[in-house]
Amino acid sequence: MEELKKTVINFRNERDWGKFHNAKDLAISLNLEAGELLENFQWKSSEEATETKNQEIKEEIADVMIYLLLLCDKLDINLEDAVHSKLKMNAQKYPIDKSFGKNAKYNEL
């Protein structure tokens, strides 16, 4: 992950784009890329989209990841640590015995 982050940061620095990157606009960008990802599924079943838009979906997933790494750099967040912490919180909200095989929200379990 650290290697990947460095590559992304390097790409940004080579273009001197860091000066535009405040966290709020990066969060907006991340939303826009997530929207472009979703656009590939519009008016289609999940299977249909997966088959016909495979390459486009992969590219948009990459774009979301790029903005995620830029945001983590900006905010000095270790992404792996953040995921581990969040999974621990989720494990408390969704204990295995209560949530097994259910798609209900934690407050509806």
Residues that bind a copy of itself (CB under 8 A): 1, 4, 7-8, 11, 14-17, 19-20, 22-25, 27-32, 34-47, 49-50, 54, 57-59, 61-66, 68, 71-72, 75, 77, 79-80, 82-87, 89-91, 94, 96, 99-101, 103
Q: Which residue type is seen at 60? A: E
- Tell me which residue of 63, 69, 13, 4 sits closest to 37, measured CA to CA: 63
Smallest distance from a copy of itself to CB 30, Å: 5
Smallest distance from a copy of itself to CB 107, Å: 14
Smallest distance from a copy of itself to CB 8, Å: 7
Closest CB to a copy of itself among residues 103, 107: 103
Q: First and final CA of the chain: distance in angstroms?
A: 35
Kindly report the number of other CB atoms within 10 A of residue 77's CB atom. 13
In which residue are the tokens 């750099």 written?
Answer: 73
Closest CB to a copy of itself among residues 100, 107: 100
- Tell me which residue of 94, 61, 92, 80 sits closest to 3, measured CA to CA: 80
